[in-house]
Amino acid sequence: MKIVVTGSLGHIGKPLTEALVREGHSVIVISQNPERQKEIVAMGAKTAVGKPEDVEFLTSTFTGADAAYCMLPISFKEPDLVAYFKKIANNYALAVRRSGIKHVVLLSGWVAGVISSYEEIENIFDELPDVAVTHIRPGYFYSNFFDSMTMIKENGLIAATFGGDDRIVFSAPSDIADTIANEITCQHHGTSELIAMRKVHYVASDEMTCNEAAGILGAAIGKPGMKWISVPAEQMQKNLESAGLSPKLASDLVEMQSPFAMD
Ligand SMILES: NC(=O)c1ccc[n+]([C@@H]2O[C@H](COP(=O)([O-])OP(=O)(O)OC[C@H]3O[C@@H](n4cnc5c(N)ncnc54)[C@H](OP(=O)(O)O)[C@@H]3O)[C@@H](O)[C@H]2O)c1
């Protein structure tokens, strides 16, 4: 199969590309950075250099492919993250229509089952006629811990709008990538079987409380008994604004975290 992978060699894109190349597929990896070409080619894939903001570029890259994996990057430059996600989702959808690609796997998230604006993003893909669409809804990526590295080093803890004994579903990027690879390849049985198909696939690698997760990390890095504390949403909003984020982007990020704190 000829498969387009968006999201470059990111947390999901890299293991996904490796899995698809290993299975003998022809893989085109979209990256906005021409310097990634060497690594992508060394992995046995091809590169398409461009941005998800560019519909013409997406359309020409999708043309002739059997399937596409679509991800929505988090851009801290955008003042309104949900509006940005919707813009990129509409770009993908338009490129899918124009290119005639028949199978799309969207990296969505658990949040789409809880917050309507994220479900609306999935709906943009659901409206595609004669295209099989799978929404992948992972939980909290393990790779998010890298974003907490400074806080862990400087304060010896993790802080979010959820924490303590809140139970979290964690998703390993490698498990998410395997699930996507499986959706793309195993489902490709023929168009007629795929036409009415709309699937939602949750990915869960583990489930534990925030403090259990912090304890495991702390033990591994010489900070035994490390805690994961929860701070009020209003405080997190202020912290993010003090770090330079716009009020709307800060509130989008706080809202995105809210489902993790649910029972
Ligand atoms: N973190 C979570 O807990 C969670 C949960 C559910 C769903 N998600 C979804 O997962 C996505 C992250 O996936 P990931 O971890 O695989 O991605 P990632 O590793 O953060 O980024 C993948 C690549 O996308 C490209 N990129 C980054 N920002 C971009 C931008 N503004 N415009 C265009 N390209 C950009 C970069 O590659 P190049 O520079 O080479 O282009 C980057 O390496 C989130 O955006 C969200 O939609 C996350």
**What pLDDT score was predicted for residue 113?**
85
**What pLDDT score was predicted for residue 187?**
61
216 inside domain: no
- Between these two residues, 257 and 119, which has the higher pLDDT value? 119
DSSP state of 250: H
> Among the listed ranges 34-43, 88-97, 148-157, 191-200, which one has the minimum average pLDDT value?
191-200
Strands 206-209 and 167-171: antiparallel
Task: Decide if 240 contacts 250 (C-beta within 8 A).
Answer: yes
CB 143: neighbour CB atoms within 10 A? 14
For residue 63, give both structure tokens: 């043309």
pLDDT digits (tens, 9 = 90+) for 14-72: 999 999 999 999 999 999 999 999 999 999 999 999 999 999 999 999 999 999 999 99
Nearest to 78 by CA among 104, 112, 59, 52: 52
CA of 186 to the centre of ligand 1 (A): 25
Domain interval for residue 51: 2-142+171-205
**What pLDDT score was predicted for residue 186?**
78
CA of 261 to the centre of ligand 1 (A): 23
Rounded to an integer, what distance in angstroms lies between the CA atom of residue 147 and that of residue 183?
29
**What pLDDT score was predicted for residue 168?**
93
From 141, 142, 258, give the residue whose CB has the most ligand 1 atoms within 8 Å, as the site to mutate: 141
Residue 196 confidence (pLDDT) above 50: no
35 inside domain: yes
pLDDT confidence tier of residue 256, bands split at 50, 70 and 90: confident
Rounded to an integer, what distance in angstroms lies between the CA atom of residue 5 and that of residue 201?
18
From 5, 17, 32, 162, give the residue whose CB has the most ligand 1 atoms within 8 Å, as the site to mutate: 32
228 inside domain: no
Chain mean pLDDT for the chain: 93
β-partners of residue 159 are 229
Nearest atom in ligand 1 to the alpha carbon of residue 36 is 40
CA of 43 to the centre of ligand 1 (A): 19
**What pLDDT score was predicted for residue 182?**
94
Rounded to an integer, what distance in angstroms lies between the CA atom of residue 85 and that of residue 75?
9
Residue 190 confidence (pLDDT) above 70: no
> Among the listed ranges 45-59, 175-189, 212-226, 234-248, which one has the minimum average pLDDT value?
175-189
Residue with tokens 């198909």: 197
- Mean pLDDT, rounded, for 149-176: 95
Residue 208 confidence (pLDDT) above 70: yes
pLDDT confidence tier of residue 194, bands split at 50, 70 and 90: very low
Task: Decide if 122 contacts 198 (C-beta within 8 A).
Answer: no
Residue 120 confidence (pLDDT) above 50: yes
Nearest to 3 by CA among 28, 21, 40, 39: 28
Q: For residue 119, what is the enclosing H or E element?
A: helix 116-126
- Between these two residues, 51 and 75, which has the higher pLDDT value? 51
229 inside domain: no
| Three-state secondary structure call for residue 55 | helix
What is the Cα 16 distance to its own chain's centre?
12
CATH number of the structural domain spanning residue 24: 3.40.50.720
Rounded to an integer, what distance in angstroms lies between the CA atom of residue 231 and that of residue 79?
23
Nearest atom in ligand 1 to the alpha carbon of residue 85 is 47
CA of 224 to the centre of ligand 1 (A): 31
pLDDT confidence tier of residue 195, bands split at 50, 70 and 90: very low
- Which pTM was predicted? 0.94
> Based on the structure, what is the number of domains in the chain?
1
**What pLDDT score was predicted for residue 118?**
92
Residue 193 confidence (pLDDT) above 60: no
Residues near ligand 1 with C-beta < 6 Å?
7-8, 10-13, 31-33, 36, 51-52, 71-75, 107, 109, 138, 140-141, 143-144
Nearest atom in ligand 1 to the alpha carbon of residue 6 is 24
Q: CA neighbours within 13 Å on the CB side: how many for 168? A: 28
Residue 188 confidence (pLDDT) above 90: no
- Mean pLDDT, rounded, for 114-130: 94
251 inside domain: no
